[in-house]
């Protein structure tokens, strides 16, 4: 072997030995995380961050029928702003329904602040709760505070404000059949900011809600608690790019008659990638309760329509269309 080559290999060997000698034994992942700046403060506050102790400063307003005033929730009380006088005062219906010395409960975290007190004057039958990322509220009070709609075991139920006389609005929801109502598929909460999946009409007579068919959607597995002694896995029906999406439908339940009807959100067309109505989201009732209005798009999101759907005929009309 040439002398130059031998000298080179000797130098590399000595360097490798020296570097190896200085490499410490690798720390466990959890130990290294504990050494990071701020770990102690974060671990101390972690449980508090999960609790519904953060109240959003955003206001959700409800306009009066004459458009001369609107109400909103502030400090757990229902307030009214008069546009002509520019005066804010406690709404009379709220003051009359609330016993003296019994302040209203404050709202939950994020988008739940408005839901904590609702639109009616009575106590809220749905206690404030924290809504996780990509999820929806699982309880909605009726505007008159006489009923509540709630999600349980992949189905929708309606009961009295105190939980009595519960009625199963849907019965086909199940893990095995991959059907669920009263909640949304992950894409709707994560990508479309859908934090609600049940919507009461202003007169409290009807309840609109989501129904999702996820049979064609493959599961996605998310490892959890990887630094704990025993880790866990969260299983979610999650469509990868190009794979089938869940079929979304919107139904309306009529409380007095106990009947449900499916709105024709796709104009009679089947669920395909190019149909406008592949995605349906942003639902809200018109002020008179005659229509449920929402947005719909095709899968490539090249066409957007704002539609109004009649619970009487189940048909939907296009109000605004953009391409």
Q: What percent of the chain has pLDDT over 90?
A: 55
Q: How long, in residues, is the chain? A: 323
What pLDDT is attached to residue 91?
A: 80
| Average pLDDT score over residue span 111-132 | 61
Poorest-confidence range of 35-39, 142-146, 244-248? Answer: 35-39
Rounded-to-integer distance, Cα 101 and Cα 240, Å: 53
> What's residue 273's pLDDT?
96
Decide if 288 contacts 265 (C-beta within 8 A): no
Please tell me which residue, 91 or 235, carries the higher pLDDT value: 235
Say whether pLDDT at 247 is over 90. Answer: yes
* pLDDT at residue 245, as a whole number: 95
More confident residue, 70 or 260: 260
Provide the mean pLDDT of the chain. 82
Residue 21: which pLDDT band, with cuts at 50, 70 and 90? very low
Q: Which residue has the tokens 């409380």?
A: 255
Q: Look at residue 78 in the predicted model and tell me its pLDDT.
A: 80
Q: What is the pLDDT of residue 115?
A: 38
Cα(147)–Cα(152) distance, integer angstroms:
16
Is pLDDT larger for residue 286 or for residue 36? Answer: 286
Q: What is the mean pLDDT of residues 72-84?
A: 81
Give yes or no for residue 9 having a pLDDT over 70.
no
Alpha-carbon Rg for the chain, nearest whole angstrom, is 27
Percentage of residues in the chain having pLDDT higher than 70: 77
Look at residue 4 in the predicted model and tell me its pLDDT.
Answer: 57
- Per-residue confidence (pLDDT) for residue 3, from 0 to 100: 56
C-alpha triplet 230, 234, 238: angle, nearest 5°: 155
- Identify which has the larger pLDDT, 306 or 107: 306
pLDDT, mean of residues 151-170 = 95
57-61, 127-131, 223-227, 278-282: the lowest-pLDDT one: 57-61
Residue 142 to residues 95, 130, 148, 166, Cα–Cα distance (Å):
19, 19, 6, 14
Is the Cα torsion angle 124, 125, 129, 131 positive or negative in sign?
Answer: negative
- For 254-303, the pLDDT digits (tens) are 999 999 999 999 999 999 999 999 999 999 999 999 999 999 999 999 99
pLDDT of 127 higher than 50: yes
Alpha-carbon distance values, 163 to 2, 124, 191 (Å): 91, 12, 33
CB 307 within 8 A of CB 319: yes
pTM higher than the cut 0.95 = no
pLDDT at 171: 96
Least confident piece of the model among 31-40, 126-135, 219-228 = 31-40
Write the DSSP string, 111-147. Answer: GGTTTTT-SSSS--SS---PPPTT---SEEE-TTSSE
User: Is the confidence at residue 185, as pLDDT, over 80?
Assistant: yes
Q: Which of residues 63 and 115 earns the better pLDDT score?
A: 63
């Amino acid at each position: 072997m040439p002398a130059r080559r031998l000298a080179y290999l000797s130098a590399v060997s000595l360097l490798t030995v020296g570097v190896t000698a200085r490499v410490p034994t690798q720390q466990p992942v959890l130990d290294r995380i504990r050494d990071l700046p701020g770990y102690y403060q974060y671990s101390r506050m972690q449980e508090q961050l999960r609790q519904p102790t953060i109240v959003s400063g955003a206001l959700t307003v409800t306009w009066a029928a004459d458009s001369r005033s609107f109400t909103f929730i502030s400090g757990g009380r229902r307030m009214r702003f008069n546009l002509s006088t520019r005066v804010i005062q406690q709404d009379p219906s709220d003051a009359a329904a609330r016993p003296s010395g019994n302040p209203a409960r404050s709202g939950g975290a994020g988008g739940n602040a408005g839901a904590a007190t609702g639109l009616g004057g009575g106590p809220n039958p749905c206690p404030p709760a924290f809504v996780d990322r990509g999820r929806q509220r699982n309880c909605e009070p009726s505007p008159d505070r006489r009923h509540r709609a709630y999600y349980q075991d992949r189905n929708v139920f309606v009961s009295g404000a105190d939980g009595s006389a519960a009625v199963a609005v849907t019965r086909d929801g199940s893990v095995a059949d991959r059907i669920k109502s009263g909640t949304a598929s992950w894409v709707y909460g994560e990508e479309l900011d859908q934090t609600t999946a049940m919507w009461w009409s202003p007169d409290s007579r009807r309840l609109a809600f989501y129904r999702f068919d996820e049979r064609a959607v493959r599961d996605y597995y998310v490892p959890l608690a990887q630094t704990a002694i025993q880790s866990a896995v969260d299983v979610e029906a999650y469509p990868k790019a190009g794979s089938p999406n869940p079929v979304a439908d919107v139904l309306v339940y009529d409380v007095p008659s106990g009947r449900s009807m499916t709105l024709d959100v796709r104009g009679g067309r089947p669920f395909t990638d190019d149909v406008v109505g592949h995605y349906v989201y942003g639902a809200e009732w018109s002020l008179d309760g005659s229509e449920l209005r929402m947005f719909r798009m095709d899968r490539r999101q090249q066409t957007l329509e704002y539609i109004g759907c009649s619970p009487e005929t189940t048909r939907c009309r296009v109000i605004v269309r953009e391409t």
